[in-house]
Structure 1
Amino acid sequence: MSQTLQAIYAAKRKARRFAVQGVYEWQMSHNPVHEIEARTRAENAMHKVDLNYYHELLTQIVAEHETLDELLIPVLDREIDALDGVELATLRLGAYELRHHAEIPYRVVLDEAIELAKHFGGADSHKYINGVLDRLAHVLREAEKQQG
């Protein structure tokens, strides 16, 4: 993989990391998204972050959270209100990418969400995230899953 491609992937990974933190903050505080984004940009070195992708993830996940939750509820084994805040933010991000970014292979979406859960979540939350998003991928990316 070229260094340019690696830099692009790394910038998207960083965008996801900041986005999941922002979604988590919004879930806990309901602060306006533009304030969360402005503070995050002011307080962090974001020169290696895909800022457009970060903005899209943060604003659209919050804007579509009810629709994303409707996608998640059938593949959860518990009530959505019983989820840990980090798990919910990570699942919403994964659901958003599965739904809106078909150019990102579903395995990449799952891997990125698992890494976020390992970094921010509880001890075994990554296993739960993997299972839920894998079931959701069967619904949203059925043809892709059948191919490989």
Structure 2
Amino acid sequence: MSQNDGTGQKPQPGKKAPSGKTLARRQARTLAMQALYSWHMAGQSLNEIEAQFRVDNDFAAVDGAYFHEILHGVPRQKTEIDGAFESLLDRPLEEIDPVELSILRLSTYELKNRIDIPYRVVINEGIELAKVFGATDGHKFVNGVLDKLAPRLRADEVRANKR
């Protein structure tokens, strides 16, 4: 009988399954990315989007405070967030797939504001979101941008990890 970590993925050999807090954060990120996508596409108010997501989804296993922080933090810092990765793009910002753009904004927010989350975790979570929700090779694009962005936003942590 194989274990499942609640994300539909089997834990890798030698790695323990994610804890409840980790899964609750992952769920918060997943819903926040979808909510940011809705905000980007429909231009609805954040409060309306949040209320709808809380009605439509079971938040029992979701870090609701983290969902709220991301959903409101990304739009508040949108200009600064977009500016952080725009020079790393291979095309204009307007041509980025809206799903991948939402993932890049969420991940950049975490890199900038949540130093309690290791940069490698932020990158991995962004890649996993892109694998599930993005275009066929969207995860490669997200990985490439975040790999270049991490040393800019987390220089000391990246240097320490390379030692």
Relative to the length of structure 2, the TM-score reads 0.87
Structure 2: where are the runs of 5+ without partners? Answer: 1-14
The answer to which structure has the higher helix fraction is 1
From 71, 76, 81, the counterpart of 2:84: 71
Matched, 1:80 2:80: no
Q: How does 1:1-148 map to 2 (within 5 A)?
A: 6-148=19-161
Q: Which runs of 4+ in 1 moved over 3 A?
A: none
Aligned alpha-carbon RMSD (Å)? 1.4
Instruction: Give the CA deviation at 1:94.
Output: 0.5
Aligned residues, how many? 147
Q: Which has the larger radius of gyration?
A: 2
- CA separation in 1, counterparts of 2:57 and 2:92? 34
Structure 1: where are the runs of 5+ without partners? Answer: none
Percent identity between the two aligned chains: 42
Q: Which has the higher contact order (CA 8 A, sep 6+)?
A: 1
1:66-99 deviation digits (Å, cap 9, x = unpaired):
1100111121111110100000000000100000
